[in-house]
Chains A and B, each alone.
Chain A
Amino acid sequence: MYDEIISFSHYTYKSFLNHQFQSIYQYLYGLTSNIIKYQIQARLENPTVAKGLRLYSARSFANRTRTFVAKTKKVTTAKKTEAVAAKKEKVFGKNKQARVITAKAPKFSASIPAEIRAVANKKVNTKVALRKSITPGTVLIILAGRFAGKRVVFLNQLASGLLLVTGPFKVNGVPLRRIDQRYVIATSTKVDVSGVKVAESINDAYFNVEKKSTKKSEDAFFKDEKKVEKKKIADSRVADQKSVDASILAALKKDKTLTIYLKTKFFLKKGEYPHQLKF
């Protein structure tokens, strides 16, 4: 059933993927790698719906396969060489006479040359544009998640488009963290971050969480679950936090009101409406 959906239309397949049953599908069949394969396949196919009628028009199919990308980049393709049919000898019939058989040439060949496919399928990661109101040093209000309501200092934008922010940790308990700019309000307040040097090692990979195996060892299984050891933070992380925060804290020391401002949480009081506020 699923295969039918996939081969029929890319769109139905895509909406199917977005559907909540995605996880169940993966769980049942474990076909994650196949999904990607189908996805590419579905994109390169223009199935016949009825006699002489293709599912996509020539124009829309070109858009799907993105062959125009190769056109603009002037990709040269290798010349098509006609496949030489292999010859085979086989013994047939009662008389057991040998006959030479020529293997049939493949009926269908990839309509789009591999060179063009390689270029067209290449994903281009466009950089997420940063809102104009957010510049290094801007105080941001976090709107959702564990640190909702906290005021933090913006440091820079990472390659993934997420914002790198810090509390500073000593002031309001927010560590070095990434956050999407959609979950943040940029205030007009700024902190001097000219002295901050964020090491290049603090990138998106830095925040990747190492996945722990969910299977428990036998000893751990019999252990009292309540006595789970408190998660320890790596010393390198603590050192990074301190080195980034050091110059911000120095800047904050000069301005006591700014420190208090960062310390206090943002919230809407009675009669305060966000559309009337100037942040």
Chain B
Amino acid sequence: MEKIYSKGVVLGYRRSQATQYPNISLLKIEGVVSREDTTFYLGKSVCLIEKVTKTAENPSGHKITWGKVCKSHGSSGVVQARFKRNLPPKAFGAPIRVFLYPSSI
């Protein structure tokens, strides 16, 4: 497979002990282990691909939720991301794609 994106995983929402912030999701990107590493990914587009039932309007049967990496989170390479629609809790642990655009290289 020729992929031009990095892989990541949805960890959950940003949260404190009792409160959670569903408008911000935490992502772990493959190979990113420190806060310094995350700087490359800030602002990059991310998407979650879900499978839905195929319809005439959506023959591919994929539902794509777009978002972008907005901030680094902690010191171990986790990032915060905001999506156009908040991710469903079903997506926790699901793979996401982190694209290389918008590029500044």
Contact = CB atoms under 8 A, between A and B. Distances in A.
A149 B102 contact: no
Contacts of A266: 4
A274 B40 contact: yes
Contacts of B5: 268
B102 A279 contact: no
Contact of A276 (B31, B102, B104): B31
B103 interface: yes
Given A275-B40, A276-B31, A148 B4 contact: yes
B51 interface: no
A274 B30 contact: no
Contacts of B103: 143, 181-185
Given A265-B2, A268-B5, A275 B101 contact: no
User: Main secondary structure on chain B at its contact with chain A?
Assistant: loop
Contact of B100 (A133, A143, A265): A143
Given A143-B99, A149-B4, A268-B3, A273 B105 contact: no
Contacts of A212: none
A276 B36 CA distance: 11
Interface in B52-105: 99-105
Given A273-B32, A274-B40, A275-B41, A268 B101 contact: no
A265 B4 CA distance: 10
Is the interface on chain B under 10, 10 to 19, 20 to 34, or 35 or more residues?
A: 10 to 19
Contacts of A143: 4, 99-101, 103
Interface of A is mostly: loop
Contact of B30 (A133, A186, A273): A273
A261 interface: no
A260 interface: no
Interface string A190-212: 00000000000000000000000
Contacts of A181: 103
B102 A182 contact: yes
A267 interface: yes
A201 to B, nearest CB: 29
Interface string A87-106: 00000000000000000000
A20 to B, nearest CB: 10
A161 to B, nearest CB: 14
Interface of B: 2-6, 30-32, 37, 39-41, 99-105
Given A181-B103, A271-B31, 5 more contacts: A133-B105, A143-B100, A182-B102, A183-B103, A273-B32
